[in-house]
Structure 1
Amino acid sequence: MNKFFDALRSVSFRRGPSRWVGGIAGGIAAQMGWDPTLVRIGVLLSFLLPVLGILAYVVAWLLLPWQDGSIPLERLLNGSR
């Protein structure tokens, strides 16, 4: 499992430092050079899609690393906060 989490950390994408809920939209905006507000609106609009928008956000929240490199799913599996 460590190889999986190390592979996620090797991707340059991180949750955004300017985050509201989980930092997913802020991370997308920072990586692409877009306005965070527009990305947040796009994420909210994706929630209108049946199951897909919310499911994609939850998966991204579990798997995308924070700025310090920690991954929420890894922390959950290891039992740490």
Structure 2
Amino acid sequence: MEKFFSVIRSLGLKRGPERWLGGVCGGIGAKFGVDVAWVRIGYLIFCLLPGPAFVIYLALWFLLPDSKDDRIILQGFLQNRGVK
């Protein structure tokens, strides 16, 4: 599992400090140099299309490292459950 989380960290995409919920849109905006408002608008438009927008957002929330402490929520959960 450690290799999986190392790959996730190597992407350079993190949940940003500018958050409403999990910081995913803020992280995407920071990574690509786009105002977070435009990322949020794009996400809302994406939500109107048929598809799993909420599921993708939730998965990114659990998988992307936090910009403050590089912590990945899913990794911490698995470590607390004893999964290696």
- Give the aligned partner of residue 70 of structure 2: 69
- Give the aligned partner of residue 54 of structure 2: 54
TM-score, normalised on structure 1? 0.86
Note the C-alpha offset of 1:48.
Answer: 2.1
What percentage of aligned pairs have identical amino acids? 45
- Give the aligned partner of residue 22 of structure 2: 22
Q: Distance in 1 between matches of 2:43 and 2:77?
A: 25
Deviations 1:4-42 (A, max 9, x none): 111211221111111111100001111111111111111
Deviations 1:23-80 (A, max 9, x none): 0000111111111111111112222233421111111111111011110111111228
Q: Distance in 1 between matches of 2:14 and 2:47?
A: 21
Residues paired across the two proteins, number: 80
- Give the aligned partner of residue 3 of structure 1: 3
The residue matched to 1:15 in structure 2 has which SS?
A: coil
CA RMSD of aligned residues (A): 1.5
Unaligned runs of 5+ in 2: none
